[in-house]
Amino acid sequence: MNQKNVIASTIDPEDVARFSAVAAEWWDMQGPFAPLHKFTPVRLGLIREWLSDHFVLSEAAETPFNGLKLLDIGCGGGLISEPLTRLGATVTGIDADARTIGTARLHAEQTGLEIDYRVSLAEDLAAEMPGAFDAVIASEVIEHVADPALFAASLASLVRPGGVVFVTTLNRTMKSLLFGKFAAEYVLRWVPAGTHDWRQFLTPNELGALLSEAGLVLAEKTGIRFDPLGDSFERSSDLGINYAMLAIRPESA
C-alpha cells in the first residue's frame, strides 16, 4: 500500500528539513534564496495583473488589493507575503517549518507589516478555514509536496467561490532537467544540490488536470524564462522550464 495515501499528507519531511537548515538566510540577497529574490518581480507582476483583471481592480492604484484576503502557501521567509501586504491585502502565510515561520515573523515585525504567519499544512488549514480566502497563492511549492492531488484539492477548498488560485512551478521536460535542475544546482549554484527532484515536476497538462479535478476552472497560463543578459526573470511563451497558472473557483457547481 502506498504510504503517502495512508498518511494523507502533502508534507515531504526531507524537503522541509532542507529548507529549515537555511531558514535564517531567507532575506540574504546573496544567499541560498537569491534566485527566489530574482524570481519575485515577475511572479508578483503576474499576481497583480491577473488578480486586478479578475476582481476588476485598478492595477495602477498604490494599494489595489485593499479588502482582499490572500493566502500564501509555502510562504517561506515572506518574499511574496510582504509585497502583497504592501499592496493592501490582508495576508495569511503558512509554511510547514517552524524555523522558517519564525524568520518570516521577525522580518515582518522589523519592517512594520502585519501578516498572519502560521505553521500549518495546506490540507490542515483547509479543514479549519474552508473558503476563507479571495485568492490562494502557491508559488514554487507543488513540486515539493508528497501528494500533489491532495495539495490541489486543498487549494480549491481554501479559496471562496468566485476566488482564484495562482500557481507557479517547474515543467517536467528535458529542458527543465538541464536548466532548472542541473544548471541551477550544480553549475550556477543558485540553490543547494538536491533542492529539486525532477520526477516531482508537473507538466502544464498534469497541473491543469489536478486543478480541474479539484473543481477549478483554468483562466490564465504563461511561461517564465530567465534572461541572462538582464539577470532577471520575465514572461515567455515558452512553458518548457518555469510556468504560471491562474484558476477560478466557480461561483456555483
pLDDT in tens, 91-101: 999 999 999 99
> How confident is the model at residue 2, as a pLDDT?
36
Q: Which of 140, 123, 135, 122 is nearest to 216 (CA)?
A: 135
> How confident is the model at residue 34, as a pLDDT?
84
| Distance in angstroms (rounded) separating the CA atoms of residues 74 and 137 | 9
> How confident is the model at residue 186, as a pLDDT?
40
| Distance in angstroms (rounded) separating the CA atoms of residues 124 and 96 | 11
| Distance in angstroms (rounded) separating the CA atoms of residues 149 and 228 | 34
- Please give the grid coordinates belonging to residue 53: 483583471
> How confident is the model at residue 190, as a pLDDT?
53
Query: What's this model's pTM, rounded to 2 decimal places?
Result: 0.88
Residues 12-46: pLDDT tens digits? 676 656 555 555 788 888 887 888 899 999 999 99
Q: Checking DSSP bridges between strand 133-139 and strand 159-170, what pairing results, if any?
A: parallel
Residues 134-183: pLDDT tens digits? 999 999 999 989 999 999 999 999 999 999 999 999 999 988 777 655 44
| Distance in angstroms (rounded) separating the CA atoms of residues 67 and 87 | 10
More confident residue, 253 or 89: 89
